Amino acid sequence: MDRCGMLSVFCLLMFFLGSHLLQITDPVESNYVITAREMLESGDFFSPRIYGHYWYDKPILFYWELIAAFRLMGIHEFAARFFPAVMATGGVFLAYFFGRKLYDGRTGFLAAIILGTSLEYWYLAHAVITDMTLFFAMSLALVFFYLGYSEQKPQYYYGSYIAAAVAVLTKGPIGFCLPGLIIFLFLLWQRDLRHLLKMRLFSGTVLFLAIAALWYYPMYQKHGWDFINMFFGVHNVLRATVSEHPEVDVWFYYLAVFFVGCAPWVFMAVPSVLMEWRRNGRIPELDCRKRFLLVWALTIPVVFQCFATKYVTYTLPYMLPVAILFSLYFREHETAFRRIAIGAVAVLNLCLFFVAIPLCNKNSEKDTAPTLQAMDNGETVFVSFGRRYPASLVFYSGCTIYRADGEEYLSKMKPAAMNWSSKNVMPMISLEDLPQDKKVVAVVYKKEKERFFSLTEGEWAFVRETENTYIYQRDAKGDGTD
């Protein structure tokens, strides 16, 4: 079997195997699958929507991927996780191709295996989020640039513009700005900024804008300033300037992500290279190839460290150059490479079944859905109370579920312009306003049980206990039946 065949089997084993067993989780994955399903049901494939509201959290491409998978395979876990696995496979082959172009086939093969067995990459290859699609598109944009630059073939730059437009359709302006900054800094290091004039800037920009406008222009035409303010204001400017999770806004955040995300390879490659530099007393000379890989790998975490909001997934696009740089070390240590690779494949697949699947079950409300479906008489009011809103329960049950709490608490959660509360578009109802003439079913997170009963009235009958919640029922007044 040749290297491409081995990589194909490797990707099937690492990214597709068992993905149908991973339940859709809260709070992020469930938002994507609900949005794609609502778009599919509405027949509107341009305007993302959730809970009946237009939803400007992310651009359209990942939703199109989900819609395509749902239409082809049905609405289930494997379909939801299909395209992240496909994009991860594309990234592995891109690492192989680019490593082979820069050095040789052996280096490219090592880089592909290192990438596919790195913990963060493996995790995101199974996650129903936009980041793996962004990774592939952004990586492709930078690979096309370097091929055009190193081989003096300007036609490659058009591939870079197309890939950047795809990245912008995946996650917004960062898909163009970040590759652009990396290219600028690389040319600055090369003392070759004049090369920018050779990159077909005018025709390339027209091509980029034409592709990006396929979605952005119709969205502006249809939704006007609501789209501009929410998509660019809240989900881009606010994300960069106001931390959504202040507790992780620390200087070493992405340094920690690097060591965890690039495990297990980082723990041998980095210390060994640093010790070698120390023994030699100097950093080795860096050629054009290594300069480009280093600028690519370092710019991404530095930029996102400057952002107020921090997520593990943001720095994923640096993993391709890191894998190639690591492969330069491991091609001199093939015995260690084989041992780590075999161990990583075995451990990660064990983690899938004994860690990832149980964690997904714990962070999903799939097991609660049959109970709600059985209790729905067409007029039943379903509410959730405490912790986070169980969007996965909406996905699996198909029921409308209100976020319930005291009026004072809900008033702070309701959407407001240029505030993180603008993401709270789920249906809400105050506990004081729960209808008396209808059956009410409450899904209460276990740690919130006492607070729930302190805020509600009437007789609540215990129905069942799930891993995360208690389910209670209150009958309509005058109705003694279940």
- Distance CA(60)–CA(48), nearest Å, equals 7
Same domain as 182, residue 126 = yes
- Distance CA(66)–CA(48), nearest Å, equals 12
Task: Render pLDDT for 259-268 as a digit per residue (tens, 0 to 9).
Answer: 999 999 999 9
The answer to whether residue 174 is domain-embedded is yes
The answer to whether residue 480 is domain-embedded is no
Same domain as 424, residue 345 = no
Same domain as 377, residue 266 = no
Structural domain boundaries enclosing 156: 3-361
Lowest mean pLDDT among 32-36, 79-83, 266-270, 405-409: 405-409
The answer to whether residue 106 is domain-embedded is yes
Among 361, 395, 427, residue at a domain's last position: 361
Same domain as 198, residue 176 = yes
Specify the pairing of strand 49-50 against strand 53-54.
antiparallel
- Distance CA(183)–CA(103), nearest Å, equals 20
CA atoms within 13 A on the CB side of 64: 11
The answer to whether residue 482 is domain-embedded is no
Same domain as 439, residue 334 = no
Same domain as 376, residue 350 = no
Same domain as 374, residue 347 = no
End-to-end CA distance of the chain: 63
Same domain as 92, residue 25 = yes
Task: Render pLDDT for 1-12 as a digit per residue (tens, 0 to 9).
Answer: 799 999 999 999
Same domain as 371, residue 339 = no
Does the pLDDT at position 480 exceed 60? no
The answer to whether residue 479 is domain-embedded is no
Task: Render pLDDT for 147-161 as a digit per residue (tens, 0 to 9).
Answer: 999 999 999 999 999
Q: What is the mean pLDDT of residues 206-230?
A: 94
- Distance CA(437)–CA(23), nearest Å, equals 35
Among 339, 361, 383, residue at a domain's last position: 361
Task: Render pLDDT for 350-370 as a digit per residue (tens, 0 to 9).
Answer: 999 999 999 999 999 999 999
| pLDDT score recorded for residue 420 | 66
Same domain as 269, residue 125 = yes
User: Around Cβ 474, how many Cβ atoms within 10 Å?
Assistant: 20
Residue 479: pLDDT band (50, 70, 90) is low
For the chain, the domain total comes to 2
Among 315, 338, 361, residue at a domain's last position: 361
- What DSSP state is assigned to residue 247? G
The answer to whether residue 379 is domain-embedded is yes
User: Comparing 251 with 330, which gets the higher pLDDT?
Assistant: 330
Same domain as 378, residue 357 = no
The answer to whether residue 481 is domain-embedded is no
Same domain as 145, residue 74 = yes
Q: What is the mean pLDDT of residues 264-274?
A: 92
